[in-house]
Amino acid sequence: MISQFRDWEENRHVYAKNWKEKTGGKVIGYFCTYVPEEILYAAGILPVRILGSHEPQDVTEPHIFGMFCPFCRDCLAQGLKGRYDYLDGVMISQSCLHIRQAYTSWVKHVPQSFSYYLPMPNNVQSKHAVPYLAAELKTFKSAVEKWIGKEITNDDLKRGIDIMNENRSLMHSLYSFKKNDSPPVSGEDTMQVAMSQQMVDKREHSPQLKKLVEELEAGAFSTVNKGTRLMILGSEDDDIPFVRMVESVGGSVVIDDHCVGTRYFWNNVNVNGGDLMESIAKRYIERPACPSKDWVERSRIPHLLNLAKEFRVKGAIVIQQKFCDPHELDIPAIIKTFNANDIKTLFLEFDVTVPLGQFKIRVEAFLEMLQEDDLF
Amino acid sequence: MAVPTYKTEQLKCWNKAKELRMDFYKNYANAHDKGGLRWAGGAWSFGAIPAGLGNDIFPITGEPYAAGIAFNKEFSLRCLEASEKKGYARDLCSYMRTYWGSIILDEYLYGGKFPKPDFMWQDHICCSHAKWYQVANELEGGGIPTHIIDVAVGPYRDVTEGRIDYILSQMHEGIEWLEKVTGREYNDDLLIEAVHNECRATSVWAEVCQLNKAVPAPLDEKSMYSLYVLGTLEKHSKSVADFYEELRDEVKYRVENQISATPHERCRLMSDTQPPWGFLNVFRYLEGFGAVSIGSLYTFGLIGVWEDKPDGSWGPRTTPKQKGIKIETRDQALRILADWNLSKPEWQHFYSPHIKSDMMIRIAKEWKLDGILLHYNRGCEGLSLGIAENRLALIDAGYPVMTFEGNMGDEREFDEAKTMGRIDSFMETLGMKEIK
């Protein structure tokens, strides 16, 4: 069952090209998970998240100053190398400054027929954020309509919302198995499912995911991991080899808080007969926040603690893309709170490629430390 | 190349600028002695709004405060290390780390303990702005009322009523909040006066910078730093607006009388982003070649507000008063304040480096430049944003560009000897030899 998700993730570009050929539809690349995919699905467009390839590169050196995060440079590299040459458009929803540079350089050096900068509000704790975003979503919808030459109706929007909600709900079902004492699905496999979710038509992804959930419910999978229960939290993380390594030395990643995992799918659009754009806006305003938007109050900390308790983690690996300012501004407060709640933490700094050998030693030491708690 | 010689003289208003700056920091520290209030926030925050609480409201703006510390290398290092000991990464904004360090050490650059603010009033366009005061509040022990206005609504060329309304609604809410947390009644007349002052100060500063189109340049960038800083302290105050008018008149006089910033101007440059504050001798070193840095988009547009003039040139934005607009209501004052600030040049590149490149190329043409120095500033994520794209665009436009890496507020990341070596090479490519 997982092999299909792995195949999608590993062959993401082949999938998107085939999708275009099969449907004749447009594909849009997006740079941040605050992009309202509901509207794109309503328009019949396939949204694919632009991610890096974890290969050393130098093509972005003339475009992005080296003090910005490796993830944004890796993403831009994909565009400059022509790996997303099938895209019809690109867009970003305003979040951190780092990924914004990948978008602005892409727009200039990898020309598209459509590009859009959605000024997603940063003050998500303000009561004015929802009406403002709802108005911006209407403007965005008009821009998409102009581009595709077709009106997006309310029925289309409802369909877009349903497609997204169904997929998110299924992801919740998948994650719920990870609360088991012996989770029947590994952190690596979960990450494959989560990543493919961001690059595959959700109308194909959801049925496959539903099958997986049904098989898990039926107990078709034997227990795959009895390792020490861990949480991974922090910056963007699509580093599958890292998770594989952690689980190979006795860890079991049962929950995460990053934008390739739960932050992407955690909440649904609630349609209660009101304005659809306002409902979509509310979903994005109320989702678990990216640290760049988590002010004045620190809403992330109680959310993270809840996740840690609900999934009964023994320790947390706090990862940070090198130079990622928003996370650097949250990490000291998170580590302090976790430690005060008897959840030990291991901090690791990520780059385009990670030193797996060195990290393995540190993860092993961390796991030994956590296991000592059981002995004494 | 023949070496020209120009008359030079010190600015007459120089000492007044220094006094105003020192008064600002003393007023903040001593605010409680006079029954007044202290607030902390960024240099870009809407300071005109708290001004409506009374004439005894004194701010401290974080960036210039930290820049001042950067000049004091011993204290700067202690501040930076204090933040690092608390777990904050070395690559974060160096102003922010320095400011936090001053709180952690409980030392004020101008003597005594760090004066705790009564409230925090900030705006947010860079990833660090809001988080700066979130952490500062925690370091102060928490509980300091904080209001932050999100101004990241896209570039001014795409501004809409809806985008201004988003800012406006946060401003209105902020006034109600100020009344609640201070227990004071809000005075709209004081707000209106502050808005007029801010428009006047920031427009006149742009006029001062515009005068630097003259050859020889009446001001050099190193001197401009000591002048523009007043706008980063209290751009909404009458004293700053009045001072800039006095400065403008003196700079006009210098232009009319060919009084130059440097004795041998024969090469005109501009820089970009904040300089490494502990190493302003870089600019004096340039003078040895007959090169003058006439400013930068940073010195012109961080505080200065500009517009396109009928002749196609870039000049100071016409103020509401100059347009004959009478501000009569709170809403009108706030709307003008929001619109005015959204047009600030240094806010535009947050959405696209290409907008900034166009402005830089425009400066290069109108200010008749021979080359550009780009400071790849590791200390400021916000103003280094897109700087590599700016370099490419300036080169495409035919301007020689020299880059140097450093940090505005962390001297551990600036290599002085290497930078001077780069300047030597750059000057050679421009055909400049050191003047004996």
Task: Express each pLDDT in B39-61 by its tens digit.
Answer: 999 999 999 999 999 999 999 99
Given a cut of 70, whether residue B341 has pLDDT beyond it is yes
pLDDT tier at B167, thresholds 50, 70, 90: very high
Q: Are B204 and B316 in contact (CB under 8 A)?
A: yes
Residues in chain A closer than 8 A to B130 (CB atoms): 122-123, 295-296
- In chain A, residues with a C-beta closer than 8 Å to the C-beta of B166 are 121, 128, 132
Confidence of residue A1 (pLDDT cuts 50, 70, 90): confident
Q: Flag if B147 and A296 touch (Cβ within 8 Å).
A: yes
Judge contact between B274 and B377, C-beta under 8 A: yes
Q: Do B150 and A328 touch (CB under 8 A)?
A: no
Statement: residue A375 has pLDDT above 70: no
The verdict on a CB contact (< 8 Å) between A63 and B389 is: yes
Among B133, B164, B166, B173, pick the best mutation site for testing chain A contact (most A Cβ within 10 A). B166
CA dist list (Å): B135 to B100, B138, B139, B308? 8, 5, 6, 40
The span from the CA of B330 to the CA of B48, in Å, is: 12
Contact map slice: B 73-92 vs A, CB within 8 A? 86-89, 91-92
Mean pLDDT of A121-126: 98
Task: List the strands of the sheet with B371-377, edge to edge.
Answer: B291-296, B267-271, B371-377, B401-406
Identify the DSSP state of B389: H
B86: enclosing H helix or E strand? none
Contact residues on chain A for B88, CB-CB shorter than 8 A? 328-329, 332
Beta strand extents in chain A (DSSP E only): 27-30, 46-49, 89-93, 114-118, 228-234, 251-257, 315-321, 344-350
CA A312 to chain centre: 22
Tell me, what's the pLDDT at A223? 64
Taking the C-alpha atoms of residue B244 and residue B246, their distance in angstroms, rounded to an integer, is 5
B131 touches chain A (CB under 8 A): yes
Closest CA to A99 of A199, A30, A200, A38: A30
- pLDDT given for residue A222 in this prediction: 65
pLDDT of residue A376: 59
For residues B88-108, give the mean pLDDT: 98
**Closest-CA residue to A184 (of A154, A214, A145, A139):** A214
Instruction: Summarize pLDDT for A186-227 with one digit per residue, the tens.
Output: 999 999 999 999 999 999 999 999 999 999 999 877 666 789
Considering only CB atoms, A126 lies closest to which of B126, B170, B389, namely: B170
User: Taking phi first (over 0 means left), then psi (-120 to 50 degrees means alpha), and beta for anything else, what does residue B112 get?
Assistant: left
**A32 sits in which H/E element:** none
How far is residue A126's CA from residue A327's CA, in Å, rounded to a whole number? 21
DSSP for residue B372: E
B162 and A CB contact within 8 Å: yes
* Cβ–Cβ under 8 Å, residues B389 and A108: yes
Other CB atoms within 10 A of residue A306 CB? 10
pLDDT score recorded for residue A220 = 76
Supply the Cα-derived Rg of chain B in whole angstroms: 21
Residue of A nearest to B155 (CA): A119
Choose among B248, B372, B211, B238: nearest CA to B298: B372
Give the residue on A whose Cα is nearest the Cα of B375. Answer: A65
CB atoms B87 and A296 under 8 Å: no
> Taking CA atoms, what residue in B is nearest to A68?
B381
| Mean pLDDT of the region A354-371 | 96
Write the pLDDT tens digit of every residue in B117-160. Answer: 999 999 999 999 999 999 999 999 999 999 999 999 999 999 99
Render pLDDT for B362-408 as a digit per residue (tens, 0 to 9): 999 999 999 999 999 999 999 999 999 999 999 999 999 999 999 99
| Residue B165 near chain A (CB below 8 Å) | yes
Task: Tell me the mean pLDDT in the region B113-118.
Answer: 98
How confident is the model over A47-88, as pLDDT tens digits?
999 999 999 999 999 999 999 999 999 999 999 999 999 999
Q: Which residues of B touch A331 (CB under 8 A)?
A: 87, 89
Predicted complex ipTM? 0.96
Q: How far apart are CA A99 and CA A104, in angstroms?
A: 9
Please name the residue that has the structure tokens 């600002």: B24
Which among B148, B381, B387 is the top mutation candidate for probing chain A, defined by the most A β-carbons within 10 Å of its own β-carbon?
A: B381
Interfacial B residues in 339-368 facing A (CB < 8 Å): 350-354
Residue indicated by tokens 């780069």: B422
Indicate whether B1 pLDDT > 70: no
Is the pLDDT reported for residue A324 higher than 80? Answer: yes
- φ/ψ of B271, rounded to 5, equals -115, -170
**pLDDT computed for residue A43 by the predictor:** 98
Residue pLDDT, tens place only, B232-258: 999 999 999 999 999 999 999 999 999
Q: How far does B9 lie from chain A, in Å, by closest CA?
A: 39
C-alpha to C-alpha distances, B193 to B170, B180, B187, nearest whole angstrom? 20, 22, 10
Q: Among partner residues B131, B354, B382, which is closest to A329 by beta-carbon distance? A: B131
Q: What percent of chain B stands above pLDDT 90?
A: 99
Report the pLDDT value the prediction gives residue A299, as an integer from 0 to 100: 98
| pTM, full prediction | 0.96
pLDDT at A3: 94
Contact B403, B367 (CB under 8 A): no
Q: What is the CB-side half-sphere exposure of residue B397 using CA atoms within 13 A? A: 22
CB B9 within 8 A of CB B259: yes
